[in-house]
Structure 1
Amino acid sequence: MNLVRGCFHYKGGVGFAFEAKLLTVISAIQIADAHGWHDLWIEADSSFVVNLLQKRASDVPWRFTAVWNSILKCLPSFRLHVMHIYREGNAVEDIMANQRVEGWWPHGIEEIKIAVRKDMATHSYVCMVK
């Protein structure tokens, strides 16, 4: 069974790690929503981003307010699981960063699929599932 629906990576060009993590979560939710994937598990190594999403809080930097509010409005249509993961446990992110390719891959590359299967065996999570 193929649980990886796609992968994306971008450098973001933002100055703070928090903003990069926030943009990554925003993008993941937008991509999932656009594809109709409303069963979503998000792991992030920013506890602040995880807390914002879990509490549906609006305490984001002002330049992200509009897009964040639009994300919050669409969240009721999701079965969403959000959890913090330590950077050391985020093998999928490391693989994506090392690929040095930006953008969206509509199908997960084999290395990503293998990493997700290994994580599922020990942590019971998936990236984007339908």
Structure 2
Amino acid sequence: MKKGLFILFSIGILFSSCTKKPPIEGLNTEVFRSDRGACKGLRKQFLPWFQQHRLDWKGVSSNDIEDVLGKPDIQQLADRNQEYYIYFFEPGAHCQDPKNPSNAQSISFRFSAMGLATEVTFQKGI
């Protein structure tokens, strides 16, 4: 029993050490998280920061991104257990009703089946 517990513990340590932490220097995460859907207009100021650090977010786990940025404004499931997190940078039609399609500026994180960001893109809407 001790051997099995040790192996399980070792695997957990190995897995957690392989994940990459997101860069947050220069990003006010409290302000970003407090502006859900960017409906207050506070997130727009962070767009240049994200454009500059876009590639630094590749390889970061979905859990770590959610811990830093908060719950995504839109979460989509895709084929082969892939997932997308979308965060808006400006107010749009989604602020009146989350079901409304929006053309607001956003960032999209695409995650592999392993839960790691494989693509980070900027777009208008979703």
Q: TM-score, normalised by structure 2?
A: 0.27
- Higher percent of residues as helix: 1
Q: Which protein has greater RCO, CA pairs closer than 8 Å, 6+ apart?
A: 1
Task: Select the structure of larger CA radius of gyration.
Answer: 2
